[in-house]
Structure 1
Amino acid sequence: MKKLLLIASFSLGVAAAAQETKTEAPVADTAKAWSIQGQNTLMLNQAAFSNWVGGGANNVGWLAGVNYNMTYEKGKDLWENIIILGYGQNNTQGTGVRKTQDVINLSTNYGREFAKNWYFSAGVSLQTQFAPGYEDGNNPDAKKISNFMAPGYLNVGAGVTYRPNDNFTMTLRPANARWTFVLDKDLQTAGTYGLKNDGDSSLFQFGFLGTAIYKVKIMENISLINTGSVFSNYLDHPERLVLSYSGVLNMKINKYISTNVTLDLLYDHNQIQKTQLKQTLGVGFAYNIDNGKKRSDNKDNQSWLKK
């Protein structure tokens, strides 16, 4: 009898220990390492007139674009990728087709965390446009002033990135190489986009680059994305800063319809010694992509933040 009780007690003890071990097992980290947020847009505008005393010209326009932010965040690794593409035209009776939007902006930045929210980082970015640009309101009969990769700006650099949350990212690169490419032979003249000599196809600069992205949710379905950058060339006239700002106000009407207002400001001494401004307003179709809960929304899954 005593042997039976001893065996039963031992069995219960093993089962309880197994149950306790199972309970104390660490919870699996199921948070997604990749988060993808994107917007695909097609904006349309049109106006028609017939015997309208107030006057006006028939016109139709369109603007298409994609804006994607793909982020990999796991352990101490942070890898952010941005794809911004946009192109638009307007056809006005008596004037013809004019380009209204033209942008290619690609960037990637990898960071390794060394302190809470701080990363040693390195990255590459490219900015250019799809089609030729002309003086006189993009009149194709006027003088050509830009084209694909004319200019094209390639930045390669290393520094630090500060990212306390998904809404703010700042990168400071004290070591940044910047190439300005002018691959259109019609534009390869001394002084154009900083070129030193006639026939040159590129200009090399080395200096400091700072960039920042700040996202603000103004209210439900209304958001503002602010992007700014500053570049100073150590090798020649470091006081001539290249400054840029971009603001995108998105007002979502429903799942597929939204209104976008954009504002771009740029000052680059090598382009034109004046502040450049571009503003657009569009209402149309927008398809948003968000793959759900991001790893950064669940900091408990990141042991490296527990300090």
Structure 2
Amino acid sequence: MKKHLLLLSLSAGIFAFSQDTKTDAPITDTIKAWSIQGQNTLMLNQAAFSNWIGGGANNVGWLAGVNYNLTYEKGKDLWENVIILGYGQNNTKGIGTRKTQDVINLSTNYGREFAKNWYLSMGASLQTQFAAGYEDGNNPEAAKISNFMAPGYLNVGAGVTYRPNDNLTVTLRPANARWTFVLDDALQYAGTDGLKNDGDSSLFQFGFLGTAIYKLKIMDNITLTNTGSVFSNYLDHPERLVLAYGGILNMKINKFISTNITLDILYDHNQIRRTQLKQTLGVGFAYNIENGKKRSENKDNQSWLKK
């Protein structure tokens, strides 16, 4: 009987030891290949007047947008995806509703590292807008000058990407195909967007495309995101560069409230032969998403955005 009790005690001890060993086993690395960073915003503005000698018109406006960066990084592979959507309106008494913001910007870029911070890459991007735009401040009674996919720009190309950290990405594509689409029948006869003939729905170009994204922390709660691009068409007047710059200044008040100031500058000879400028300012709600952060020796993964 004593022998049986001894064997039972030894067995229980071994079982308990094995359970402790299993519990104390090292936790597997939870660093994820995917990281997701996004900001959802809803900006509101309003003004009201009653017997105000200085004059003024009652108005209310809103602007909604999302800005997401989805990145896959594992070994020598790097795959970055950007989703930027924004739309806003303002309604002024006596004037009506006008569009204040309208943007669709989607891009993807895959790279394979061949040297430190340098990647052989290929990717695509699409830029257009949601709704029609009109002359005279988007007055629907005025002439229409733009619409969804009129114009729309599709770029597909290959080249190299330089990415020393998550705050700077520069992509150079010496081989880039660029399609300009005008899918609104009425605008195909407007003589704009570089279409060769009336009734054409697209224009093909082939040339060099360079893009850059640089994120700068100005203060603890103030960040500036800069984007720029340049395109040169090898096939026709390569000196007529398409130049674009976009800046977003984000001033974070607290976890859910922030102020955004945006500035967009564009020059495209095929649209109008003048510099185009757009600026917006809004105060409202902002909700940030940060998931799947990676930590490595040479990438800080925009940790300053968490402050």
TM-score range, shorter chain: 0.7 to 0.9
Partner of 2:265: 265
C-alpha displacement of 1:30: 3.0
Residues 165 and 296 of structure 1 are in contact (CA less than 8 Å); yes or no, is this contact kept in structure 2?
no
Asked if 1:202 corresponds to 2:209, the answer is: no
C-alpha displacement of 1:296: 4.2
The 5 A counterparts of 1:1-307 are: 29-189=29-189, 191-291=191-291, 293-296=293-296
CA distance in 2, matches of 1:111, 1:39: 25
Change beyond 3 A, Cα 1:164–1:298: closer
Residues 49 and 56 of structure 1 are in contact (CA less than 8 Å); yes or no, is this contact kept in structure 2?
yes
Residues 48 and 58 of structure 2 are in contact (CA less than 8 Å); yes or no, is this contact kept in structure 1?
yes
Amino acid at match of 2:40: N
Partner of 1:17: none
C-alpha displacement of 1:298: 6.8
Q: Percent identity?
A: 87
Secondary structure at 2:209 match in 1: strand
Amino acid at match of 2:151: P
Residues 72 and 80 of structure 2 are in contact (CA less than 8 Å); yes or no, is this contact kept in structure 1?
yes
Residues 74 and 295 of structure 1 are in contact (CA less than 8 Å); yes or no, is this contact kept in structure 2?
no
CA distance in 2, matches of 1:26, 1:76: 26
Residues 35 and 71 of structure 2 are in contact (CA less than 8 Å); yes or no, is this contact kept in structure 1?
yes
Aligned residue pair count: 275
Give the root-mean-square deviation of aligned CA atoms: 1.5
C-alpha displacement of 1:57: 0.1
CA distance in 2, matches of 1:148, 1:269: 20
CA distance in 1, matches of 2:180, 2:72: 29
CA distance in 1, matches of 2:95, 2:255: 36
Displacement over 6 Å in runs of 4+:
none
Residues 161 and 169 of structure 2 are in contact (CA less than 8 Å); yes or no, is this contact kept in structure 1?
yes
Q: TM-score, normalised by structure 2?
A: 0.87
Alignment deviations for residues 148-190 of structure 1 (CA, whole Å, 9 cap, x no partner)? 0000000000000000000000000000000000000000026
Alignment deviations for residues 255-289 of structure 1 (CA, whole Å, 9 cap, x no partner)? 10000000000000000000000000000000001
Secondary structure at 1:194 match in 2: coil
Where structure 2 has 5 or more consecutive residues not aligned to the other structure, the ranges are 1-24, 300-307
Where structure 1 has 5 or more consecutive residues not aligned to the other structure, the ranges are 1-24, 300-307
Residues 33 and 292 of structure 2 are in contact (CA less than 8 Å); yes or no, is this contact kept in structure 1?
no
Q: TM-score, normalised by structure 1?
A: 0.87
